Amino acid sequence: MADYLGNTDGRNLHIGIVVAQFNDLITQKLLAGAQAALQRSGVSAADITTWWVPGAFELPRAAKQMGASANVDGIIALGAVIRGETSHYDYVCSETARGLAQVSLEGPVPVMFGVLTTDTLEQAINRAGGKGGNKGADCAAAVLEMIHLPH
């Protein structure tokens, strides 16, 4: 029996981050958390590529394009979808999650799901550097672990 645990050594790795512009009050904090965590793990700032897209729904396509470029070892997708008064929230959350899962399973590199799906702005703030931690930073550690798992 063999156990494998990926490590978080980011030296010599190239990481892509796709970020939704919608709710940028939140997504900028997620991005800052991811970038800081990657750099603490040894990823050079010059080896972090960030692509901005209009909203969460566009994240899967951007992640697919970034992964196909062969310029990154892993991808972090960051967004924030906050429930409103219409069913739009349900569609965006569902399709974004499905799309990113598909890209991660079928693509050449791991893709981390850093899209907050919350009922309120306060909940999103708490998960973007508030008392709930920073989901961007969590995804940074996770993408490094996934990269280091055996192929």
| Side-chain-facing half-sphere of 52: CA atoms under 13 Å | 9
- Is 92 marked as binding a ligand? no
- Is 113 marked as binding a ligand? yes
- Is 11 marked as binding a ligand? no
Encoded amino acid at 146, one letter: M
- Is 103 marked as binding a ligand? no
**Distance of alpha carbon 23 from alpha carbon 20, whole angstroms:** 8
Which residue in the list 14, 88, 148, 151 is annotated as catalytic?
88
- Is 50 marked as binding a ligand? no
Helix (H) or strand (E) holding 128: strand 128-130
- Is 127 marked as binding a ligand? yes
- Is 125 marked as binding a ligand? no
- Is 22 marked as binding a ligand? yes
**Distance of alpha carbon 23 from alpha carbon 6, whole angstroms:** 32
| Side-chain-facing half-sphere of 107: CA atoms under 13 Å | 26
User: Which DSSP state fits 89?
Assistant: H
Hey, what are 33's tokens? 């958390």
Answer yes or no: 14 catalytic.
no
User: Which residues belong to the annotated binding site?
Assistant: 22, 56-58, 80-82, 85-86, 113, 127
Q: Which residues are catalytic?
A: 88
Which residues line the annotated binding site for (2S)-2-hydroxy-3-oxobutyl phosphate?
85-86, 127
Binding-site entries for 5-amino-6-(D-ribitylamino)uracil = 22, 56-58, 80-82, 113
